[in-house]
Amino acid sequence: MTDKLAALGRQGIAVVASLGRSGRFLAGVLMGVPRPIKGFPLLVQQLYSVGVLSLAIVVVSGLFIGMVLALQGYTILSDFGSESAIGQMIALTLVRELGPVVTALLFAGRAGSALTAEIGLMKATEQLSSMEMMGVDPLRRVIAPRLWAGFIAMPVLAVIFTVVGIWGGMLVGVEWLGVFDGAYWGNMQSSVDFVDDVLNGLVKSVVFGFVCAWIAVYQGYDCLPTSAGISSATTKTVVYSSLAVLGLDFALTAVMFGDF
C-alpha cells in the first residue's frame, strides 16, 4: 500500500518536474534573441515542411467534413422545414469549432509527430550535442524556427480548412441537395460575425498551433535518445497534443461564447 502511494507520489513529482522542464525549455527558446537575417531562411524552410506539406491532408479532410456536415445538417434541418439554415449551420460549426480543432488534431498527427521524430533523431545521433559543442545553440538554431513555424502555419491551415469545408458544404447542400444558393450564403452572412466568430476561431487556432508546436518540439528535445525513446515521444506528442487541444478548446469556448 505504502509502495503504491510512494509510486503515485513519485509519478506526480515526475509530471510536475516535466512541466517545469518544458517551461524552462520554452523560455530558453523564446528568450533567445532572434536573428532575422540568419533565422528567416530557416523559418521559411520549416514553414514548408510543417505548413505546406500538411496542406494536402488539411484540404482533403476539410472538404469531406464540410460535405458530411451538409448531409447530416440537411437531414436534421429538413425535419423542421428549415433546410435553408444549412449554410449558417455549416459555417458556424466550421468557423467556431471544427476548423481550429480538427486542423489542430490533424496538425498534431501529421506535423507534430514528424517534428518530434526529427528532433529526437537529431538528439539520438548526437547532432544537437555536436551543434552545442560547435558553440551553436540548438534551441535557437533547431528548435526556435520549428516552434515559430508551427505557430504561424496552424492558423493559416485552419482558415484554409474552414474555407474548403464551407465550399464542400455548398457542393453537397446547393449543388446536390438543391438548397437555394442565395439562402446558403445569405443565412451564413447574417449569422456569422467577423469579430465574434471568425476572429475568435482564429485566436483558437493560434493558441492550438502554439501548444501543438511546443509539445512536439519539447517531446523531441526531451526524449530518451534511443529508438524506443523516440517512438514513445512521438506517441506522447500526438496524445498530449490532442488532449491539450480538446481541453483548451473547451476552456476557450467557455470564455468566448459562454456568456450568452
Partner 1 sequence: MESSAYITLTDVVFSRSGRRIFDGVSLQIPRGKITAIMGPSGTGKTTLLKLIGGQLKPDSGEVMVAGQPVPKLNRKTLYRLREKMGMLFQSGALFTDLSVYENVAFPLREHTRLPEDMIRDIVLMKLEAVGLRGARDLMPAQLSGGMTRRVALARSIALDPELIMYDEPFTGQDPIAMGVLVKLIRDLNSSMGLTSVLVSHDVPESLSICHYACIVADGKVIGEGTPDQLREHPSERVQQFLNGQPDGPVPFHYPVAGAASDFGLTGGGA
Partner 2 sequence: MGNRSIEVIVGLFMIAGLAALLFLALQVSGLSPQATSDRYTLYANFNDSGGLAPRSRVAMAGVTIGTIESVTLDKETFQARVKMAIDADVDNIPADSAAVIRTSGLLGDQYIDVSVGGDMESLQPGDTFYSTQSAMNLERLISNFASGR
Q: Which residues contact 242 (CB under 8 A, 6 or more apart)?
A: 105, 108
**Nearer CB in complex with partner 2: 50/248:** 50
Least Cβ distance, residue 127 to partner 1 (angstroms):
5
Give the nearest distance from C-beta 217 to partner 1 in angstroms. 16
Contact 229, 223 (CB under 8 A): yes
Task: Copy the grid coordinates of residue 184.
Answer: 446558403
Angle 175-181-186 (CA atoms, 0-180°, nearest 5)? 150
Question: Closer to partner 1 at the Cβ: 131 or 256?
Answer: 131
Contact 119, 50 (CB under 8 A): no
Instruction: Single out the residue of 90, 218, 217, 112 nearest to residue 157, CA to CA.
Output: 112
Per CB under 8 A, the list member of 134, 195, 250, 259 interacting with partner 1 is 134
- Cβ closer to partner 2: 80 or 250? 80
Q: How far is the CB of 240 from partner 2 (least distance, A)?
A: 26
The reply to whether 136 sits near partner 1 by the rule CB under 8 A is: yes
* Nearest distance, CB of residue 152 and partner 2, angstroms: 8
Candidates 82, 127, 232, 253; binder of partner 1 (CB under 8 A) is 127
Q: What H or E segment, with its residue span, contains residue 95?
A: none
Cα–Cα separations (whole angstroms), residue 230 to 17, 124, 151: 20, 8, 23
What amino acid is encoded at 162 in this protein? Answer: T
Chain positions contacting partner 2, by CB under 8 A: 41, 44-45, 47-48, 51-52, 55, 80-82, 91, 95, 153, 155-157, 159-160, 162-163, 166, 185, 188-194, 197-198, 202, 260
Contact 101, 157 (CB under 8 A): no
* Nearest Cα to Cα of residue 145 among 107, 125, 106, 118: 118
Instruction: Out of 39, 57, 97, 137, point to the residue binding partner 1 (CB under 8 A).
Output: 137
Binding track over 31-70 against partner 1, x by CB under 8 A: -------x--------------------------------
Q: Residue numbers of the site for partner 1 (CB under 8 A)?
A: 38, 121-122, 125-127, 129-137, 141
